[in-house]
Amino acid sequence: MRIYKLQCLFLGIFAKVLLCQTQQDSKNLEFLTPSRHEMLQFLFPHYTPYSDMMDLVLRASEFGFPSFLRRTNVLPDSLVFDIPAKQLNAPNIKIEFHIPTYVKKLIHLAKVKLRRVQANTEPAASLKQIWIESVRPEGFLKLIHTSALRFLMYDKEALMSDDQKARRSILDTPLIRDYLFNDSSTQNIPLALLAMSGWRGLFWTAVSQMPNFYNAVPGASGPPHETSVAAPARLDELSSTFLFHLCAELRRDKSTLPTDIPAGFCPNPCSTSPCLTLPHTVGQQCHLVGRGLFMSDFRCECLPGFVWVSGGVADEDAGGKEEEAEEDNTDEGPRTPMSDDVGSCVAVDICETYCSAQGTRRCDILPHTGSAKCSCKLAYMGPTCSIRRNPCIEVSDKAKMAGNMACNTGQGGLCIPTMGSDFYVCQCPPSWTKDTGLDYENCLALKDKCLSEVCVRGDCISSGDGTKMICLCPEEAYGARCENLRGNWAEWGPWSACSPACGHGKIRYRERVRGCLHGNTCSGGRSRQVEVCPENLPCPDEIATLGLGAEALAPQDAWQGGEARAHIEIQQAFALRKRRFRLLVLILKFVFLFLCAFAVASATIMVVYALIY
């Protein structure tokens, strides 16, 4: 760790010295010219964000790249090396640095460093390893001389200077550092920012090393080989190229997290809410199509009766999934649109797109709904008339039942259809049969046991499956078929006298009975009836006590009342004598109790007096 810090300090001091020397040589410092010292080119690979780009077209690429940048090779997929033919082991071999492969390896390395994926083998970690694996064709080292590309000998040159240590540190140290967090950490480093560590490799390759990436054949006579390859002349173009391929790979990878691409890092044609300004769209709902890199890579939601059309072709997949799947099968960059014209919501013939041309007899457009009603031919059915008619599911005559319902499949019936027609055959369940009142095949009549059995005096009730029955007899009949009559009740007899015969404040009852005229088979009633007497009649001895006269006797007790009237004077005298006797007894009891109390009090006083005196 200490040695690493010393190396970094040495590199910083060395870079400052070189920068001062370069500034003394040229006041107008050009960062993208080969005349700048090569170590400065690598130590300070300036990346230009959108907001700092001088090119207005590239600056506006924050909202989507124009497609002509790809067609004019401003955003290339590869950087081709112009190696002298004498240093090639095979003729007509094209050696190129493939940018999409380089970016994929950077992202994979970042995932390994963040422990999101487990690599079976240790991935290329240093700039030199990743750079060599990104050059095409594979195994290119066997196709060229060992000294054809100076990059291969770069860390071994300048043996007598400090450049060798700096070059080795640059090329051999890990391009992306390890990021270790404990299990409870919620930190998430965006993959896009980690992959930006590889920007220096593309910058150094394209700007500083392209014209000087090869050597003349050792010992060859004549002037040195002059390259015919033009490296990108502006930093804006190179920055956009790296960003284009990095964003394309991040959006292609389905395992990336939403936070792996910071807001505003990659182009987003939906960021300006283009759907708000387009006609026949549903609000500002905007969806990226494909990888969302170009100006036209978006789709809007359309109103009913309209369909989104992109590039003159309807977006059938509603999101560009077919195009994206096609891109995933290739190592090349994303597809390039034919033009930058944005899509639009185009009115469609709903009958042509909704109803099946083969099975539709007539199509009626429903006003103000954006939909249609399809009238099917006899051989077809369904909302769009695209399904071969199955009469067990649907018949052409809507007034008739479909076969499954008519054949009573819910109770175990079976419908055997003739496809493409209205004809079917029913196999009825055991308890059901055909209803002859209907003019089509069915199993809707329940087999009824009551049709073959008779209830003499009652109603016949069948079981649920029609195999059993029972007779519900009326009150006057009984038996399995209600064939027997029950006995009839006679008239009620007269009410009995109230019991008890009298008594003030007492409840009195009376009853009556009736008999069965035909033995004991009567049912549905009682043979005895009891009720409360309507009036409260006092007894004769209570009349005088209560101060009542002879009229207090109840009318229904006429016989008892007459006898009471004949002896009313005797009864009143007897009741008065009885009251007087009771009053006398009460007085005597009171006097006796008073004398007892007086005697006890006197005795107590005498005892107390004797004790005191």
Q: In 241-280, at which residue ranges do the beta strands (DSSP E only) sit? A: none
In eight-state DSSP terms, residue 124 is: P
pLDDT band at 178 (very low <50, low <70, confident <90, very high): low
210: three-class secondary structure by DSSP: helix
Amino acid 388: pLDDT = 94
Select the more confidently predicted residue: 483 or 314. Answer: 483
pLDDT-based confidence at residue 223 (cuts at 50, 70, 90): low
Higher pLDDT: 557 or 237? It is 237
Residue 556 lies in a domain: no
Which residue, 306, 322, 348, sits at the end of a domain?
348
Q: Does 540 fall in a domain?
A: no
Residue 218's pLDDT is: 45
User: Which of 18-22, 216-220, 412-416, 580-584 is modeled with the greatest confidence?
Assistant: 412-416
- 84 within a domain of the structure (yes/no): yes
More confident residue, 331 or 540: 540
The domain in which residue 54 lies consists of 30-219+230-260
Residue 410 has pLDDT above 50, yes or no: yes
pLDDT at residue 561 tops 70: no
278 and 158 inside one domain: no
Co-location of 97 and 189 in the same domain? yes
Residue 389 has pLDDT above 80, yes or no: yes
The residue from 309, 328, 348 where one domain ends is 348
Task: Evaluate if residue 6 carries a pLDDT over 50.
Answer: no
Does residue 252 share a domain with residue 234?
A: yes
Name the pLDDT band for 116 (thresholds 50, 70, 90): confident
139 shares its domain with 255:
yes
Does the pLDDT of residue 392 top 90, yes or no?
yes
d(CA 409, CA 392): 10
Do residues 303 and 336 both lie within one domain?
yes
Q: Which of 12-26, 147-161, 539-553 shows the lowest per-residue confidence on average (mean pLDDT)?
A: 12-26
**181 and 38: one domain?**
yes
Categorize the per-residue pLDDT at 91 as very low, low, confident or very high, splitting at 50, 70 and 90: confident
Task: Say what the pLDDT of residue 44 is.
Answer: 60
Q: With respect to residue 569, please indicate whether it lies within any of the assigned structural domains.
A: no
Q: Which of 133-147, 264-278, 299-313 has the lowest mean pLDDT?
A: 299-313
Residues 310 and 459 in one domain: no
Lowest mean pLDDT among 227-236, 507-516, 600-609: 227-236
DSSP string over 464-533? TTSS-EEEE--TTEESTTS-EEPP-B----PPPPPBSS--TT---EEEEE--BSSTT---SS-SEEEEE-
Mean model confidence pLDDT for the chain: 76
Type and span of the H or E element at 452: none
Residue after which a domain boundary falls, among 485, 509, 534: 485
Q: CA end-to-end span of the chain, whole Å?
A: 125
Q: Are residues 248 and 277 in the same domain?
A: no
pLDDT of residue 216: 42
The answer on 328 and 187 residing in a single domain is no
Average of per-residue pLDDT across 454-483: 83
* CA dihedral sign, ordered 41, 44, 49, 52: negative
For residues 422-449, average pLDDT: 88
Q: Minimal CA–CA distance to 343: which of 279, 424, 386?
A: 279
Q: Are residues 247 and 275 in the same domain?
A: no
pLDDT value of residue 506:
76
Query: Is residue 456 over pLDDT 80?
Result: yes
Which range of 80-89, 308-317, 380-389 scores highest in mean pLDDT? It is 380-389
Joined tokens for residue 468: 């059993």
**pLDDT tens-place string over residues 478-496:** 788 888 777 777 788 888 8
Model confidence pLDDT, tens digit, residues 275-307? 999 998 998 889 998 888 999 899 999 987 788
Asked if residue 467 has pLDDT above 80, the reply is no
Q: Has residue 187 been placed in a domain? A: yes
Looking at the structure, tell me whether residues 246 and 292 fall in a common domain.
no
Using left for φ > 0, alpha for ψ between -120 and 50, and beta otherwise, residue 370 falls in left
Question: What CATH number did the domain enclosing 461 receive?
Answer: 2.10.25
**103 in a domain, yes or no?**
yes
Tell whether 12 is covered by a domain: no
Query: Residue 92: what pLDDT?
Result: 81
Q: How many domains does the chain have?
A: 3
Asked whether residue 427 is assigned to any structural domain, the reply reads: no
Same domain, 98 and 142: yes
Average pLDDT, integer, range 129-143: 86
Q: Which residue has the higher pLDDT, 189 or 65?
A: 65
Q: What is the pLDDT of residue 541?
A: 65
Which amino acid, one-letter code, is at 402? A
